[in-house]
Chain A
């Protein structure tokens, strides 16, 4: 486990509580600092309140859809890395997300090591603020 991941603040936005909480716990075990939001609104509110280095965003959210949340995030945080997560392994969805300004795209069920690798890439690529 790379030390660069230590203390990275991650915002997880996903409505599947069992999934997102377990994932958060696993990230925490690896030294990251995750926080969970179960709706797009909550996620956006939390982004306002505190600072995050990476956002993990599910595309299928109830109410406000993932791409809408992403667009909102981009209005206030242009450079914040956003990793999209979806159960639909569809290149079209991925590309649509990338065009909206997402930084990466992963499909569920996600391989944690893959996720960590992407997070690491994102954080290294972006200047830390």
Chain B
């Protein structure tokens, strides 16, 4: 029993496992794909505006610087060295620059020896101070000589405010060269940054390649302060990277190197902002997946449980049916054997009976001789032994009959009529009236013909035995309700005592003394019980007996049960 339980438990686990895997695998796959796609598109959607914002900002800065350096370049080309060296002309040019472009704070002309020869700008003191200054040893002068054009990092220098120097070298056809250098104050940078329309919590600024802030930053300090984080690797396309700030918070950093200056435009914002909605979505996906998985598991487990218990039930039923069938077959073969034995024994028994009878007859006819009485007693003993054997073989045959069961549709009226054939002659002889009141429309019932015939035979036999000369036996049938028929056998015979009535269905109870086996009524009772019927007896001593047998019409009884 325990191993059987284990067997079903194992089967249940296997089926649930397979169902769960088969049902959950696609869900899991879908969830994973969704997760990845959501994440990718979410990242792209949220990061793209940030990146493109940096791209636009970078373009603005590049345009700003390009315009300024083109202006300086134009001035350097449009005028000769002599014209530029003339303070009035240079001042005039400077005024024009200032009116056309914001940001120019001064302009200077430097000879190819690196000596400042002319200057235009605010404040005469600066002009005096700078005039004749030698730049030949300065790095920017070398760079402009090498590259013809140079944009400096943000510096404070003499001017005491952050500014950028743009220098352009000009070569005349006669072999002379000079440098025009303009300073731009960095206030327009702040305007450019503001134009990037940053979200709250975001920050945008310029740094040089070594991480010195070129504009003010909200989070990382003022211009010329050091940007605390590593400058990302060079890329002239707007890119995005993840980083950790000084407090260890994850930040997203979009950046781009400027083409015409050694600046990097950087925009930062906390990664949390972006990730929050993604996390929310991710939680939703996970919850839906988990909910779905639980539902699938629950449904699978429940239905498999049901399935297994059904399977178990039917297995049990099959096993029971099988063992019942086996049992019935065993009994049936025993029954057949018993019938064969009984039948075979009855024939020699009949011979013994007749031989003893003849001996008795002959002895009775013979004259008295010594020990005649003794012989007669021996013959009597043989007779009673034969009678005992007869009872035994009859019982064996009865047993065999009960084993051989065949359920069929039976007409009780017809069976009553048939059985009455046995008794008609005897009744006629004894002048017993047999009254039949059979319901013509009596429905057929399901049952075993042999067994029910035995019942009818026994009860009719009992009724006829109970009535004396001129008695009456009434037989009636009726439909009691939709699924029950009733058969009543009434006699006006000797009836029975209260005590007899109480014991009538007990095996081996008999009123016939040595004549009866005491099995008749108990056999009837057993047969009626097996047919799911009822048997009731009403009797009064000296007045008669009414026996009522009720039988169901549609009987679900199985062959092995009957």
B453 contacts A109, CB within 8 Å? no
Per-residue 0/1 for B404-440: is the Cβ within 8 Å of any A Cβ (1 yes, 0 no)? 0000000000000011011001101100000000000
Q: Which residue of B lies closest to A95 (CB)?
A: B418
In the assembled complex, A89 has its CB within 8 A of some CB on chain B: yes
Residues of A contacting B343 with CB < 8 Å? 60, 87-88
Residues of A contacting B350 with CB < 8 Å? 16, 19, 87, 108-110
In the assembled complex, A73 has its CB within 8 A of some CB on chain B: no
Contacts A87-B343, A90-B401; is A18 near B351 (CB within 8 Å)? yes
- Report A73-129 residues with CB < 8 Å from chain B CB: 87-92, 94-95, 98-99, 103-105, 107-110, 112, 118, 121-122, 124-125
B425 contacts A121, CB within 8 Å? yes
In the assembled complex, B532 has its CB within 8 A of some CB on chain A: no
B397 contacts A16, CB within 8 Å? no
Please report the C-alpha to C-alpha distance between residue A91 and residue B147 in the assembled complex, in whole angstroms.
134
A10 to chain B, nearest CB (A): 14
Q: Which residue of A lies closest to B394 (CB)?
A: A89
B411 to chain A, nearest CB (A): 13
A89 contacts B351, CB within 8 Å? no
A103 contacts B425, CB within 8 Å? yes
A96 to chain B, nearest CB (A): 9
Per-residue 0/1 for B332-369: is the Cβ within 8 Å of any A Cβ (1 yes, 0 no)? 00000001001110110111111101100110010000
Residues of A contacting B398 with CB < 8 Å? 89
Please report the C-alpha to C-alpha distance between residue A58 and residue B69 in the assembled complex, in whole angstroms.
143
A107 contacts B349, CB within 8 Å? no
Tally of contacts, chain A with chain B, CB under 8 A: 97
B352 contacts A109, CB within 8 Å? yes
Residues of B contacting A98 with CB < 8 Å? 418, 421-422
Say which one of A23-31, A36-44, A47-55 lies at the interface with B. Answer: A23-31
Number of chain B residues close to chain A: CB under 8 A: 38
Q: Which residue of A lies closest to B401 (CB)?
A: A90
In the assembled complex, A22 has its CB within 8 A of some CB on chain B: yes
B358 contacts A26, CB within 8 Å? yes
Please report the C-alpha to C-alpha distance between residue A109 and residue B357 in the assembled complex, in whole angstroms.
11
A103 to chain B, nearest CB (A): 7
Residues of A contacting B425 with CB < 8 Å? 103-104, 118, 121-122, 125
Please report the C-alpha to C-alpha distance between residue A92 and residue B398 in the assembled complex, in whole angstroms.
11
Q: Which residue of B lies closest to A17 (CB)?
A: B351
Contacts A99-B418, A109-B353, A112-B357; is A19 near B347 (CB within 8 Å)? yes
In the assembled complex, B259 has its CB within 8 A of some CB on chain A: no
B453 contacts A92, CB within 8 Å? yes
Residues of A contacting B352 with CB < 8 Å? 109
Partner of A29, one of B355, B361, B418: B361
Q: Which residue of A lies closest to B339 (CB)?
A: A88
Partner of A121, one of B344, B351, B429: B429
A85 to chain B, nearest CB (A): 9
B386 contacts A95, CB within 8 Å? no
In the assembled complex, B449 has its CB within 8 A of some CB on chain A: yes
Residues of A contacting B453 with CB < 8 Å? 91-92, 95
B434 to chain A, nearest CB (A): 15
A95 contacts B419, CB within 8 Å? yes
* Most chain B C-beta atoms within 10 Å of own C-beta, residue among A19, A29, A104, A108: A108
In the assembled complex, B457 has its CB within 8 A of some CB on chain A: yes
* Most chain B C-beta atoms within 10 Å of own C-beta, residue among A19, A98, A112, A121: A19
Please report the C-alpha to C-alpha distance between residue A44 and residue B22 in the assembled complex, in whole angstroms.
82
Residues of A contacting B397 with CB < 8 Å? 88-90
Please report the C-alpha to C-alpha distance between residue A23 and residue B344 in the assembled complex, in whole angstroms.
19
B484 to chain A, nearest CB (A): 24
In the assembled complex, B209 has its CB within 8 A of some CB on chain A: no
Please report the C-alpha to C-alpha distance between residue A103 and residue B422 in the assembled complex, in whole angstroms.
8
Residues of A contacting B422 with CB < 8 Å? 94-95, 98, 104-105
Contacts A88-B343, A95-B419; is A26 near B361 (CB within 8 Å)? yes
Residues of A contacting B421 with CB < 8 Å? 95, 98-99
B346 contacts A109, CB within 8 Å? yes
A97 to chain B, nearest CB (A): 9
* 10 further contact pairs, Cβ within 8 A, besides A89-B398, A105-B422, A121-B425: A16-B351, A26-B358, A89-B397, A90-B397, A91-B453, A95-B453, A99-B421, A108-B350, A109-B350, A125-B425
Q: List the 3 closest pairs (A to B, CB-CB), nearest first.
A: A87-B346, A109-B353, A22-B354
28 A-B contact pairs sorted by A residue (CB < 8 Å): A16-B350, A16-B351, A18-B351, A22-B354, A22-B355, A22-B358, A26-B357, A87-B346, A87-B347, A89-B394, A89-B398, A90-B401, A90-B450, A91-B457, A92-B450, A98-B422, A99-B421, A103-B425, A107-B394, A108-B346, A109-B386, A110-B350, A110-B353, A121-B428, A121-B429, A124-B429, A125-B428, A125-B429
Contacts from B to A (Cβ < 8 Å): 339, 342-344, 346-347, 349-355, 357-358, 361-362, 365, 386, 390, 393-394, 397-398, 401, 418-419, 421-422, 425-426, 428-429, 449-450, 453-454, 457
Contacts from A to B (Cβ < 8 Å): 16, 18-19, 22-23, 25-26, 29, 60, 87-92, 94-95, 98-99, 103-105, 107-110, 112, 118, 121-122, 124-125
